[in-house]
């Protein structure tokens, strides 16, 4: 789905206690990231209505199942950090960033989806330009540095 989706779900009196978490699975049994908020409670304190939000997904499943219980976030690969020469390499999968361990350069290179988007060192704000309230971004060494 190209955009996210939100919806509300009613619950019968006494069915779910306040603080119940929710999980969402697609038709392949894959857990999906889901945000849930209680909207209303029955007089006995149980949930009456809940709101749910699903982030945009790469594809659309034929069937989704909302399951009350402990919310289980989908497994994500996370951020990989490696030392490579004098640099730290941060890799999230879609984004790779090379950061020097020393010196005035903030970012040595940046790649998104395998495409280098920044190859000239970027040093960011500099004290040489004055106090922090007057920071100005440093300029790349050449205009071709920014794609």
Range of lowest pLDDT (28-32, 77-81, 98-102, 121-125):
121-125
Strand partners, 111: 96, 116
Query: How many C-beta atoms surround the C-beta of residue 98 within 10 A?
Result: 20
- Tell me the pLDDT tens digit for each residue of 20-72: 999 888 888 888 888 899 999 999 999 999 999 987 776 677 888 999 986 66
62 with 86, same domain: the answer is: no
pLDDT-above-70 percentage for the chain: 72
- Tell me the pLDDT tens digit for each residue of 9-19: 999 999 999 98
Tokens of 78: 């996370």
* Domain coverage including residue 105: 80-145
Domain count across the chain: 2
64 with 86, same domain: the answer is: no
Q: Which helix (H) or strand (E) holds 50?
A: strand 47-54
56 with 106, same domain: the answer is: no
**What's the mean per-residue pLDDT of the chain?**
78
**pLDDT at residue number 94:** 85
By residue count, the chain amounts to: 147
> What is the reported pTM?
0.50
97 with 136, same domain: the answer is: yes
Q: Which of 15, 35, 68 is the last residue in one of the domains?
A: 68
CA distances 44 to 10, 36, 37, 78, 135, Å, are 15, 21, 18, 41, 57
Whose CA is closest to 119, among 147, 100, 85? 147
Is residue 48 a part of any domain in this protein? yes
């Amino acid at each position: 789905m190209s955009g996210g989706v939100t919806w509300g779900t009613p619950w019968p009196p006494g069915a779910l206690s306040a603080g119940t978490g929710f999980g969402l699975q697609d038709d392949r049994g894959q857990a999906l990231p889901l945000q849930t908020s209680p909207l209303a409670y029955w007089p006995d304190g149980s949930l009456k209505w809940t709101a749910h939000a699903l982030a945009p997904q790469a594809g659309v499943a034929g069937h989704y199942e909302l399951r009350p219980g402990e919310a289980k976030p989908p497994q994500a690969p996370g951020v990989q950090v490696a030392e490579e020469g004098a640099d730290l390499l941060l890799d999230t999968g879609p984004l790779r960033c090379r950061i020097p361990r020393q010196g005035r350069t903030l970012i040595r290179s940046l790649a998104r989806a395998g495409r280098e988007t920044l190859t000239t060192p970027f040093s960011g704000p500099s004290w040489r330009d004055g106090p922090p309230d007057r920071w100005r971004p440093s300029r790349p060494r050449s205009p071709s540095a920014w794609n």
